[in-house]
Amino acid sequence: MTAIVVANVWIGIPFNMVILYGGLQSILPQLYEAASLDGAGAWQKFRHVTWPQLRPTSSVVVMLGLIYTIKAFDVVMVLTQGGPAVPD
């Protein structure tokens, strides 16, 4: 089971990071500048600017991750050769 989890994480992380990176690139720098002028620190910028702006992108990442996990039958079959009850 650990091998299956590691394989799914190994397969899914790069795709999710590319999508999230694209979402980060779409956040306007003016929002961070305005937050700095209002006296926001790093945590406040993340909480009030970055996270709300990434919410639609992260929703897509979660939905695609859920779909991928549901359809991960092929990875389980390859790693377990059909499971523990397969006769030789």
Q: Residues 52-70: pLDDT tens digits?
A: 999 999 999 999 988 887 7
Q: What is the pLDDT of residue 4?
A: 72
Q: Residues 9-32: pLDDT tens digits?
A: 888 899 999 999 999 999 999 999
- Chain-centre distance of CA 63, in angstroms? 9
Hunting for tokens 């695609």 — which residue is that?
64
Q: What is the pTM of this model?
A: 0.71
Contacts of 31 (CB under 8 A, 6+ apart): 49, 53
Structure tokens at 50: 């970055």
Q: At 86, is the pLDDT very low, low, confident or very high (cuts 50, 70, 90)?
A: low
Alpha carbons within 13 angstroms on the beta-carbon side of residue 7 total 14
**CA angle at 35 for the pair 29 and 36, rounded to the nearest 5°:** 90
